[in-house]
Amino acid sequence: MTGSIFSVLNNFGSANAQRNAMFAGNKLGSNLGHLSSGSRINNAGDDAAGLMIANGLRADYNALSQATRNANDGLGIAQIADGAFSQMGNMLNRATTLATQAASETIGDSEREIINMEYQEIMKEIDRVVDTTNFKGELLLSNDSPVNKELFVGDTNIQSSINLSIGGSEGAGTEAMGLANTSISTVADAKDALSLLKNAVSDVSKWRGTVGAQSNRIENSIGIIQIQSQNLLAAESAIRDTNMASEIGKFTSNKIILESSMATIAQANASSAMILSLFK
């Protein structure tokens, strides 16, 4: 510090103490901001490079969180389709039983006609299931082609998708299974239907197996995405979050410095007033 200790125009000791007090007060305010928010970076000046990295990690984390929701939607689609195929399999099994009964000459034509009525209702119900099975209004089964859904499970760096395919190359209805316009009203028709029903049961089992395999893949992808999300969150936390123990230590230190500076200002102001003793 320069300047005369006998100056009454400028109190250099007080000015120096005020500068230190202002610096300590600013740091104390920053400490309070970090402690109250729990964040080490409250503005770009706290850590410009760290802020950029943390924001990038947060963007990736948010993208992966949405990817998880996308995958869960895909899993819901697969489960709905699996449920539909399960019911279709049950109905085909019942139709097989009816066709086997109708193929026997131990029953009469009138009885066979009643059996055929139930058989036809089963065929109609299979097509109704195909026409109405949906996820949020979007049909999941078709009478003429497989239904494909692309699930985006990537982030801001890597674009990655899982394709979900439901049904056979010609769809999943009675026409696709070769059962359209079939009948079991005669012994010959019932025997012909049995052969077609065997293939239909095999087709539905294959479609259901494909959906099951895709469901397992989606579940695995969800697990991987969640691990990635957890690691990204931990990396961001290491950059952005306040180390409470360290920050409290800094807060205590700056608080002592501020109190010391304020006391020093009082002493510097008092020393200037002592010049008046020279007039006595």
Q: How confident is the model at residue 222 (pLDDT cuts 50, 70, 90)?
A: very high
pLDDT in tens, 162-208: 888 888 767 788 988 999 999 999 999 999 999 999 999 999 999 99
**Residue 171 backbone phi and psi in degrees, to 5:** 100, -155
What is the pTM assigned to this prediction?
0.71
Residue 240, pLDDT above cutoff 90: no
| Multiple choice CATH, 48-239, 3.90.226.10, 1.20.1330.10, 3.40.50.300, 3.90.79.10 | 1.20.1330.10
Please state the domain extents for the chain.
Answer: 48-239
Q: Is residue 64 within 8 Å of 160, Cβ to Cβ? A: no
Query: Which is more confidently placed, 174 or 239?
Result: 174
At residue 89, the pLDDT reads 95
The predicted structure's pLDDT at residue 104: 93
Rounded mean pLDDT, 238-260: 76
Residue 73 has pLDDT above 80, yes or no: yes
The three-state (H, E, C) secondary structure of the chain, written as one string: CCCCCCCCCCCHHHHHHHHHHHHHHHHHHHHHHHHHHCECCCCHHHCHHHHHHHHHHHHHHHHHHHHHHHHHHHHHHHHHHHHHHHHHHHHHHHHHHHHHHHCCCCCCHHHHHHHHHHHHHHHHHHHHHHHHCEECCEECCCCCCCEEEEEECCCCCCCCEEEEEECECCECCCCCCCCCCCCCCCHHHHHHHHHHHHHHHHHHHHHHHHHHHHHHHHHHHHHHHHHHHHHHHHHHHHHHECCHHHHHHHHHHHHHHHHHHHHHHHHHHHHHHHHHHHHC
Distance CA 143, CA 178 (A): 11
pLDDT at 278 over 60: no
- State how far the Cα of 64 lies from the Cα of 55, in Å rounded to an integer: 14
pLDDT at 154 (0 to 100) = 83
Residues 78-111 pLDDT 10s: 999 999 999 999 999 999 999 999 999 999 989 9
Decide which of 236 and 4 is more confident.
236
Q: What does the pLDDT average to over 51-70?
A: 90
C-alpha closest to that of 65 among 153, 161, 157, 136: 153
Q: Which of 4-8, 74-78, 137-141 has the lowest mean pLDDT?
A: 4-8
Q: Is the pLDDT of residue 4 over 60?
A: no
Query: Is it the case that residue 217 has pLDDT exceeding 60?
Result: yes
